Structure formats: C-alpha cells, structure tokens
Structure 1
C-alpha cells in the first residue's frame, strides 16, 4: 500500500511536467515547415539528387547607371541592378525576352522563379564615374542556374538590397485578452523579420506622428485610401495595416493539474504597395499559444501569427514593389514655347527607361501635355526633368506637373 502511494506521489508531479511539455511540442510541430523535418528532427522524404545546375558559376561584369544632377546614389542603385542582369546573361541564364532597360522586371521574375537562375552572392571590385558621365560598378558574382530557393536568405537579401531596401511601416490595432498591450507584438515581430532581410523600417519617432491620427484609425479598419495617404506622408514603399486579437481557449486535458493555459490569436492584415495601391495577398493566420497566463499565451500566439505573415511578405514584396512593367505617366509643362515643346519631346525620348513619348499637343498660355511610357517610376522622371532645368510644381505616382524656369534652361 505504501509503495503504491509513493508511486502516485511521483506520477502526479511527473504528469504536471510532462503533459505541458508534450502539448507545447505538439503545438510547435504545427509550425515546422512542410516536407523539411519530421519527428526527432529527421528529414522527411527521400533526399533530392544533386543537380549540376545548382553549382555556382563565377562571372565578372560591369553595370552602369545615369548620374542625374549630383545624385550618385541613385545612379549607383541603377548600376547595381544593371550588373545583376548582366551577370545572369553572362552566366548563360536566358532572359532575352526582356528589353534592355527592364532591370527590375528581371529581378521580379527571378524571385517568381520565372527565370531559371539567380545571383547567389557578389563582391564589388570597382566603381566610380566614367569619362562619359555614367556611373559604373564592376562585380564578381556567383550565379546559380536554377530557380531561386526560399531558404537562400543571402540571395534574397541581395535582391532586396539592389531594389533599394524598400521602406515599410506597420500599423496594427492589437488587443490581447480584451486589453491593449503596452506595445504591439505583431508590429514588433513583422518589423524584426523584415529588417532582418534588409527592408528598412520607418523611424519610430516619425511613426508616432501619425499613430493617433484619424487616417491611422481608418487604415487599420481597412480604408485603402487612408493607408495610401499615410504611406505617401511617411515616404514608405509598403504599408502593412490591420488588426489582431486573442481569446482564451478551454482548459486542455494536457494541462490538468498544472497552471498552464492556452489562448488563440486571430489576425486580419493587408499589405499595400504605395506606388500602385496594389493590395498584396497576405496570410491572416489563426495561431494557438500556451503560457502560465492567458495574456502570456496570447502574446506567444500573436508572435506566431507575425512570423507566418513575415514569411509571406518577405517573398511577396519584391514581386510587386518597383518591379512593375511598363506604365504611363502624364506630364504637364507650363511656360513652353513651341520650339521648347519640340525640343523637350526629343529629350524625353532619350531618357533612360523611357520607352515611348506621345506629345498630346501645345497651345499658347496652356500647359503642354505629354504621355510617357516608362519602366521606371514617376520619381525617376521627375529627377531627370529637374536636371533639365524644369521646376516640379506637383507630383503624384502617375502625373507630374512642371514649369519652365528661365535660369538653367540654357542647359538644353
């Protein structure tokens, strides 16, 4: 009798320890990547055969970019994108279907696995301004002739870097077991994951300026116009908005006799590209969490939601931001003579990344109107117009208004 009593005393605390651990293991197993790791950490499925195309080929190439005014940083970014493309071509990756200037479209298709090759890593050997005024970079790159792998973090970080490290802002309405937390775990998780890959977060002090505004509240509730207004104000390339809340889960049998409890997080989040207003398809996961309090369990559940979303966003953003195909921008120019009107048409057609210019008409004392097709963006065009001696009076993603300024017009 005494032996059985002693045994029961041992089993009760063991159950109190082992059951919660088993439950936590089962929950964590839900978050393992599919088809990668099985029980006891063993790989699932048969190993894939080694492919010779997965071996990196080393090439050395030059890339060039146009220096507008004194903006060498922009020219350098352009040269790096050009070098990426040239490295793919020299390594024998077929990208001949694309026109000469569409560097970001090539990068987009690398991420989307439409191009069977990617730059795994590179080093910059030399850079500077050539005698002809173009900025150049010389790189030695390792190119893999295969579709990019999602676990190749360094290759994706390189792509994000040459895209200019897109800026993002996260605004989330968060409630944990009915209370507002001192800080948003979802915002913190997304920010940590995205910055880890090279995306740039809006400065927290800047973010404080808009967090309590009506636009911020409307954006969190799903108002796309309000979200875009905030993104433009903060000069963010991507704005991530939405809400997340947690609820208590019933006491699980594994937790009987212990202080452990569980909660579940429910999230609804959207990511919007500032330049185009496009809404990205982002997961809105529901995740459980366990802890010694319902709020602690809720915090862990929210973090799991954030990690799931981040995995989606890290790969989705390069497919959409700054990598759009040819777009049309309307240009209105005031104070032009007819001679200036014809001259500007020629200048526009010679601009890098401009594929087509349609002069709509000229009338005295009225703005001259041009439709410009470009693989760049409105900011690129605006910078080049300023270099010609034109003053920007109004600017948006698809429309630029400028006026002729006598001073500097001689540069034509």
Structure 2
C-alpha cells in the first residue's frame, strides 16, 4: 500500500511516524485527521514531515506549543514573501506561471501589519457591533421564518451561506443582489485545483481578477465620496491603506471576505452537527437556553473552522526539543490544539457549559488574533437565540459533506429537517 492509501484507512498506527502527513486534504474531507493528530500529540508533538504535496514542513500539534509560535512573530513570520499563512505556497502566489501575489495584513509582520489592521478594526468596535445587532437579528429571523418545517433541505445553502453573505454585503456596503458573488470568491480564494471548486490555477486567477475589477469600481466610488463606516470606505480613506497597490487592495479584500465568510459559515453548520452528535447537550440547551453564549464558544472550539495557520522561521530556534532552521515552514494545527487533553478536559466531546468555554485556539493569538471574533460570536449567538425561539429540533438527516481542504474545516452540504 502507498502512504496515502494507508492514511485513508484512518489507522494512524499503520504508518511509521516519519511518514505521517497530516496536510493531506482527504483526511479532512473524510473526517480522519483527528486520529493522526492524537498520535502526533502523544508521540511527536513537534513533527517534521519531509515529503508532502506542499514540501517539507513542521507540524505543531499541542496547545501550548501552538501558543508559543503564535505569540512570537519575531521568530515565526507571516510575511507573504516567505509564503504567507497557509501551508500551500500556491495559495499565496497563485500557482506556477499563473502567479497572483496578493499581500494582505494577516500575511505581514509589524509595523505594516499593525497599520493596515488598524484601518479596518473600527468596523468591529463595540459601539458598531451594538448598532449592527438589530439588523443581524432581523435578517436571521427572516431567513429562519422562510424555511420549510418538516421537509429536508440543505442547511449550508439556505442558512449558513445566506446569513454570512448578507452580513458580508452589509460590512462592505456591497450590492445586495450580487451578494452570492462574495461566497464564490471566498471559496475560490482558499481553493486548490482538484478540491471540487476550481480546476486550475488559471481559473482561480481569472475569477479573482473578476473580483478585483468589481471591488476596484467600489473603491473608485468610495474614495471620491465622504468617509462612511463600511470596510471599503475605511480602506479608501485611511492613510495606512489609501495608497495600496491594486494587488494589496485585492489581497486585503479577499482576507476580509474569507475571514467574514468561511469561519462563521462553517461554525453555523458545525453547531448543528455538534448538537446532533451530542443529543444530551441539545436537551441541556432546550432546558436552559441561557447556555447559548457559552455554547457559541464551544461551537467555535469544537468546529475549529480554520484547521491551521502557517508561519516561516526567520531565525534558527528550538521548540519541543527540536531544532527548527531559518526558512523552515511551521504549521500550527489549531484543530489539533483544540483537542489537546493536557489543556482541555474531554476535548473530543461537545460540552455547552464548559467552565472555560473561551479557552480555544480558533481565533489565533498574538498580533494576528482574529479581528472579527466578537462579530462572529454575536452572529452565532443571535442565530441560536432565534432557532430556539422557533424550533424544538434541527435534525440532521444524513452525514454532512465535508470540504476537501486542509485549511478550511467546513461543510459543502448538510441535510436537515426542522421540528416546530
């Protein structure tokens, strides 16, 4: 058997330790990755994989080691020029001769990172979140009231995508009737050929150039108008971002689209999956809807909607007794850290009333901690408040179809039936 074939058996002990490659997207598509991460945490928590589709890389799999990397940008760089924040260098560069270099502030080190992040952070300031809550609740109620009770439908399409896409359209002040373009561009941004979304790097480039043209027209409108509170206006009027190159503007737009779409969307579906996998917790929630706020954090931990973030070592260093060399690719597997039983009790279980529900890695740590984390939590809280006011059960009718990706840990479809 080949290494890939052995990995697809789901038995992590069938391979020599040095042959384990947790970057294989099929492990995530078939929900097999957890067993391999469990073995790495136990036997080799700072693990070197010499051969993979993405070249050699280090896997950081324990909670505290991930924290050590994530909070040390002086040694572990996010710079786009070094490969950026995902294991696949082609995602940053666009692939081969079809290269499309799209720098953005998450793929930067200070001081440029700090300046550009500051330009968009007012969108999620507490006062602005408070102003958005009524709009989010009204849209959530409208979507839930439009759903068929007692009939099977796709939760991903009808709820998760629609809710997050409406929110993105609001944040960008994007033409509402075109909002599904945002979903497509988000999917294309994180896709690699063969995963079911794009067929080639040239297709990815072509679709992202369509996105660039659309957003350039919006920029031209906003930069010549008085400043407003949407993201494009903030970028157009901030001194730190007003003179960005077109590539940098597109890079930041795509970052904000993915950040506002993939993570919240897959947590909205992940919560339904989790409650169906742990029906005792669903009953607990029915008895005490006040647990929703705690449950939201547990959904985000249990789902871990972005499975990893990558860094590049810019100096020789040591971690977990291993020598990491300057230039090495270092991958923080947030999904694994969120299952570390040395830090989180019963980490494979979904427990909606954990004592420390916000103890998770899903938002990252350090200077790159997710800028929209409170907005994501608010969207999920409102969704579940409105669900519990309407339905006794969101019943999963079949196993979800998972995304073929080692970066986005998400769902392509989720058949459900509602019970009033």
Normalising by structure 1, we get a TM-score of 0.22
Normalised by the length of structure 2, the TM-score is: 0.22
* Larger RCO, structures 1/2 (Cα 8 Å, 6+ apart): 2
In proportion to residue count, which structure has more strand?
1
The structure richer in helix per residue is: 2
Bigger CA radius of gyration? 1
